[in-house]
Chain A
């Protein structure tokens, strides 16, 4: 039985599965239910200054895909809508009653030293394990110069992180917004400000759909809509990329990363951890199915680790980072070719038409004795993978790496590269 315990920037939890700062961690009632279900930690729903913000009714939009509900999810909610003291009292009680779980408190107050200086001692006094600075909320708060408005300006990120380190002893996690071109900038700023860790991603600015009767973006509030924050399974690839970018950055080597974005099961979590995350945070999946999903996350991760011989999280954490390279480091002499398993093929023709119309005309549509047959034209196949993704039958089309004919060749050394200067012969 694998050991799932984690120590993240000094914050301990029995497993790497935390609930992200959001409605599931809004109050003691939810958090206690989450801990009872087995969650390793929570990041409490973002606290702000009194008086609390006001939320609209009709808050969430969602994208269903092929009959599956909530492939992507968006919201126009703000931070906590409850008074500060109520939250602080509950946080104190929860931490006292659940000493082995991580209780991190998310904070968002205006970008002034006074505002942070004022709130930090109150939060620290609860006995919580650390704070997460919400620099990510893409709607509502940014218009008030908080959330993403801060997260998009690296100088502000550094400044606020430094205030937090100055006015408290707690580990500081900076939560990053993905609504920025280069994620490395705010991440490095966080580090420069003294942050102990980063977490990412917060939600992506989005409109999930347009209601064509009301002629308004969804979710509609009295006939109108606003842009919201996108999350759920659809954002996982975006989050993975950003986590990977930070993990492989030499300047930030060793900076703890809490991975967030579309994590719905143990496999997603394992992928984030392999790309360098030390813990993972979940919101949408819990909002879809309830806290019980953590059972399979724990059980599945530990069974998978056992099957691979990983005894602890550290045994595989970051293992994929060295293989996450820049395009220019990829081997241009590597070649893979599609192979169709004729016994599995159901003759739907999808591989052919995809390749014929949009790729390299490398799958022949034949009739052999009057029967349909699809065959890869190996000389033409560039190994793009399209047909393998399109084929509806699992494992019917597989990509076969070809034996290396030539040594590794990267773009920098390729004759077609205008910048390439062949070394002069001796």
Chain B
């Protein structure tokens, strides 16, 4: 009998499970941690931060008690420094490069320190930036996710006027709809949006979708420049028999619903859940299913642990949360009864030529109440069409851009997940910033 139900845990337990998983450093802890930083010259951590934050400087300023200066050092390069402090996989970015790794395999906790400084300023001065003197230029940004917000903020600093068109009812992109709830807890995503907008000169129109309510050609005509930051709106399917059974869901939809629900105790989850995939999304879906009260959660990935795009730390995190990770198996068929999923038949795989998974011959079946598919998000180009045709170059499934995030169309720029590169919040912020600077140079000659 399939078992999908809400309220598997007491409400208080569920609330605790979705609160901040990594609470902030106390002021004293932050000073002690800051004192571990050597204040390196030409610091490797800084080079490893996609937004190039001056890490030694901001940490030094925490040590001297100059928290305002510290936070401004961060925001100067990364206006979403608050969410990045919480969501960046620092173990593959700044902290991996920290010289303390080479010395003792224990990096300075850069992310936690970044949170200390940014939280302090956001609490003490909710509007530290001011729009530059008006230039008379008006730029359209499509998408109010990290890339769009970062671009808009930088443009506003330079005095431009910005209108953001956002397809959803809320701003923030995946910060609002995608990131694991315990990473960006409470209403941080919305507070950060307000912080970004406090600069002035940015206007957001919600429920306005490119491709449905207006087209790219119109934006090009009406605005001095356009920045596309529409992320990845498609989800890859398993393309297997039984995929339409009830209980089979896209992991991103499950996560979005979870993030949006006011009372998570009302959210149904299977007693047993199988998540298919090997990335961030799989980890987050599985962990959150466990924290909602699923008894038995298994991630199944077609290759080995080192091949997963989820970092080793994230895999550990899922396992610490009681998620089982099975490697070297790929789903073959979904089993169901009365339109409801009851299990999955997997084919075992083995390493083949150049690391690819090839069928090993035998199969096994996992019984389950719920299947979450996390086999990748994809870019959908349709909204960019004007009069049914796509004028803009797409390469390897993403919008093609140069180093300035310029697309093949004059005056149209793009960044974030909808272009090639790391699919991370911090990379999206950098794209937005770089594009804004290029737009500024182009418009102001």
Contact = CB atoms under 8 A, between A and B. Distances in A.
Contacts of A299: 61, 66, 69, 72
B69 A303 contact: yes
A267 B65 contact: yes
B317 interface: no
A266 B70 CA distance: 13
B61 A296 contact: yes
Interface in B35-49: 35, 39, 41
B104 to A, nearest CB: 12
Interface centre among A267, A299, A395 (most CB of B within 10 A): A299
Contact of A300 (B35, B39, B66): B66
B69 A300 contact: yes
Interface of B: prevailing SS: helix
Nearest to B61: A296
Nearest to B65: A267
B65 A300 contact: yes
Contacts of B66: 266, 296, 299-300, 303-304
Interface residues of A, number: 18
Nearest to B40: A289
B28 interface: yes
B64 A289 contact: no
A288 to B, nearest CB: 9
A380 interface: no
Interface string A367-405: 000000000000000000000000001110000000000
A262 to B, nearest CB: 14
A46 B61 CA distance: 32
Contact of A267 (B64, B68, B69, B72): B64
Interface in B5-30: 26-28
B35 A68 contact: yes
Nearest to B26: A394
Nearest to A68: B35
A68 to B, nearest CB: 7
A254 interface: no
A144 interface: no
A266 B65 CA distance: 9
B35 A303 contact: no
Contact of A266 (B26, B39, B64, B72): B64
A38 B242 CA distance: 68
Contact of A295 (B35, B57, B63, B68): B57
Interface residues of B, number: 16
A393 B57 contact: no
A304 B41 CA distance: 26
Nearest to A393: B28
A389 to B, nearest CB: 15
B86 interface: no
Contacts of B65: 267, 300
Nearest to B41: A290
A265 B41 contact: no
Contacts of A289: 39
B106 to A, nearest CB: 13
A302 to B, nearest CB: 9
B60 interface: yes
Contacts of B26: 394
Given A292-B57, A295-B57, A300 B64 contact: yes
B68 A265 contact: no
Nearest to B60: A296
Contacts of B27: 394
Interface in B340-399: none
Given A265-B64, A296-B69, A303-B69, 6 more contacts: A265-B63, A289-B39, A296-B57, A303-B68, A304-B66, A394-B28
20 contacts: A68-B35, A265-B64, A266-B64, A266-B66, A267-B64, A289-B39, A295-B57, A296-B61, A296-B64, A296-B69, A299-B66, A300-B65, A300-B66, A303-B66, A303-B68, A304-B66, A307-B68, A393-B28, A394-B27, A395-B28
Interface of A: 68, 265-267, 289-290, 292-293, 295-296, 299-300, 303-304, 307, 393-395
